[in-house]
Amino acid sequence: EPEVTQTPSHQVTQMGQEVILRCVPISNHLYFYWYRQILGQKVEFLVSFYNNEISEKSEIFDDQFSVERPDGSNFTLKIRSTKLEDSAMYFCASSKGQGNTEAFFGQGTRLTVV
Amino acid sequence: AQSVTQLDSQVPVFEEAPVELRCNYSSSVSVYLFWYVQYPNQGLQLLLKYLSGSTLVKGINGFEAEFNKSQTSFHLRKPSVHISDTAEYFCAVTGSGGSNYKLTFGKGTLLTVNP
């Protein structure tokens, strides 16, 4: 069964460092998303990506965040200068279509900023 | 904009007992509703979804949910739980007229099934 894969599963980084979280969406999907879950809090939408551009982003997704689809398979989330409050589980998701189709989630990357 | 409230942060039950996990939402537009499950150290897996039509939807692993528009609820039920159902359950909503699959999640309910 096709699945969304995320690497690494756990990343520890020092405050102020840049970090790139990687995702391989399901191959025939067209819509890509990043969500995050701070420990003990809700899963929160960060950004959606379609047709090689951001289609929507939340207020959390400020200038220190960026997304990219550098090739036909990967979808990355870059955090330019990490802060302690960026520590969270980051989930990548993909879907074939929009709201009435299922979004498939990856297993997440746990980011710890120290 | 939408919001989701999951009224119970933790629900402990005994094996083979019935369970209901509550979810209420608010939205100014028509919605699609979802329940996701997260097993320990795993990603989010779709249990079931309501898009339109019958208000009672059946999902995987014997779960079902009923959409109640007047009460703005989408409670998840299972008549007899197993220990393997121990997991965190998330209710989520998205606007049905939206152009993006932007899910708004509740805080989650930790279901613990005890022997």
pLDDT in tens, B63-104: 999 999 999 999 999 999 999 999 999 999 988 765 556 889
Partners of A100 on chain B (C-beta within 8 Å) are 32, 51, 96
Structure tokens given for A9: 């599963």
Interface list for chain B against chain A, based on CB atoms closer than 8 Å? 32, 36, 41-46, 49, 51, 90, 92, 94-96, 98-108
pLDDT of residue B75: 98
Determine the Cα–Cα distance for residues B96 and B30; give it in Å rounded to an integer. Answer: 6
The secondary structure of residue A71, as a DSSP letter, is S
Report chain A residues whose CB lies below 8 A from the CB of B99: 55-56, 98
Residue by residue, DSSP assigns B32-94 as: EEEEEEE-TT--EEEEEEE-SS-SEEE-GGG-EEEEETTTTEEEEEESS--GGG-EEEEEEEE
Q: Which chain A residues have a beta carbon less than 8 Å from that of B49? A: 102
| Mutation to test the A interface, candidates B101, B105, B110, most A Cβ within 10 Å | B101
pLDDT the model gives residue B98: 58
Mean pLDDT confidence for B34-48: 89
Residue among B32, B102, B104, B107 with most chain A CBs within 10 A, to mutate: B102
Summarize the confidence of residues A59-77 as an average pLDDT: 93
Does A45 sit within 8 Å of B102, measured CB to CB? Answer: yes
A18-58: per-residue pLDDT in tens?
A: 999 999 999 989 999 999 999 888 899 999 999 899 999 99
pLDDT level of residue A7 (50, 70, 90 thresholds): very high
pLDDT at A96: 87
Asked whether the beta carbons of residue A55 and residue B105 sit closer than 8 angstroms, the reply is: no
Q: Are A91 and B43 in contact (CB under 8 A)?
A: yes
Per-residue model confidence (pLDDT) at position A102: 79
Distance from CA of B63 to the nearest CA of A (A): 17
Strand partners, B74: B67
Q: How confident is the model at residue A101 (pLDDT cuts 50, 70, 90)?
A: confident
Closest-CA distance, A35 to chain B, in angstroms, reads 9
The chain B residue lying nearest A110, using CA atoms, is B41
Give B75-78's long-range contacts (Cβ < 8 A, gap of 24+).
B75/B20, B75/B21, B75/B22, B75/B23, B76/B20, B76/B21, B76/B23, B76/B35, B76/B47, B76/B48, B77/B18, B77/B19, B77/B20, B77/B21, B78/B18, B78/B19
A21: helix, strand or coil: strand
Cβ–Cβ of A91/B44 closer than 8 Å? yes
> Do you know the residue count of chain A?
114
